């Protein structure tokens, strides 16, 4: 089975069993299944905090444009890339509207 590719309509969902700590503007996420710690910069932290399973990557990108004054295209690229990386690292799962 081919892995699900992250797209603008993907709806990322955080895993409930990871430990999440905020340190200044960044965050650390500990994945007990893999025994790995992941460091998120402030942009990735913002994206992570908005991955509640109800918001699409496009919606998160729209929010990002207001917080960081980024262009819509760049925000979409950043969100889809960050979510894809977090999915690859097992921190998020994604669904989409069909």
Spatial neighbors of 79 by CB under 8 A, at least 6 apart, are 47, 57, 58, 60, 61, 64
Q: Got the DSSP string for 31-55?
A: ETTTTEEEEE-HHHHHHHHT-BSSS
Mean predicted confidence (pLDDT) in 63-79? 93
Q: What pLDDT does 7 receive?
A: 85
Tokens of 78: 């950043």
Mean pLDDT of the chain: 90
Mean predicted confidence (pLDDT) in 68-91? 93
Domain boundaries along the sequence of the chain: 10-89
Fold of domain 10-89: Outer Surface Protein A; domain 3 (3.90.930)
């Amino acid at each position: 089975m081919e892995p699900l590719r992250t797209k603008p309509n993907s709806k990322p969902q955080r895993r409930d069993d990871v430990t999440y700590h905020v340190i200044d503007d960044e965050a650390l996420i500990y994945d007990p299944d893999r025994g790995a710690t992941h460091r998120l910069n402030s942009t990735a932290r913002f994206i992570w905090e908005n991955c509640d399973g109800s918001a699409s990557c496009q919606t998160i990108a729209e929010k990002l444009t207001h917080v960081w004054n980024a262009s819509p295209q760049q925000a979409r690229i950043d969100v889809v890339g960050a979510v894809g990386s977090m999915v690859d690292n097992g921190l998020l799962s994604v669904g989409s509207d069909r």
